[in-house]
Amino acid sequence: MKNSIKIFFIFSLLNLYLFSNASSEEIFKFEVSEIEITQNGNLIKGYNGGKATTNNGISIKANEFEYNKLLTSLNAYENVELEHKNRDIYINSDNITYLKNAEIITAKGNIKFKDKRNNILISANQISYYVNQKKIVAKESVIIEDLKNNQNLKENEIIYFHDNLEIHAN
């Protein structure tokens, strides 16, 4: 009888520990100057500069953030800098939207995309970065520069696979 009570007690503590860790895991970690939390904790806004990071090596610095917990969507505005440390990818833009569940990052306005690993620089008005597919789709006034081979390409739209340095131009 004492052994079954001990086993039940240990099992209960283990379940409590596992479930409390699972529910407390956040998708984004925020470091912001000012924060506003509304809609029962489902909408988080950050102001006056800060940083949002994920567990997959992506960090975003911006003047303002808006995170919708239900949609797992992060919008970053003004002087946005994204860094994907695991892949040596950097994006500077006016604003960025990160759909975390879909792993799609969309940047708009004055974009500079840099793949440091392959020495590729892309300038465009809009870029979609498909994280899991390791694919970048750049649109509107696209300039892609191969800094290693000193080559440039100007197009209206390109698709760049950074894992194997494959470029498709339309």
Of 2-6, 37-41, 146-150, the least confident: 2-6
Q: Is the pLDDT of residue 1 over 90?
A: no
* Average pLDDT for the chain: 86
Longest pairwise C-alpha distance within the chain: 78
pTM of the model: 0.81
Separation between Cα atoms, residue 120 and residue 136, nearest integer Å: 12
- Predicted local distance difference test score (pLDDT) of residue 83: 97
Residue 65 or residue 14, greater confidence: 65
Sign of CA dihedral 72, 15, 40, 49: negative
Q: Is the pLDDT of residue 22 over 90?
A: no
Of 1-10, 12-21, 77-86, 131-140, the least confident: 12-21
Task: Give the pLDDT band of residue 170 (cuts 50, 70, 90).
Answer: confident
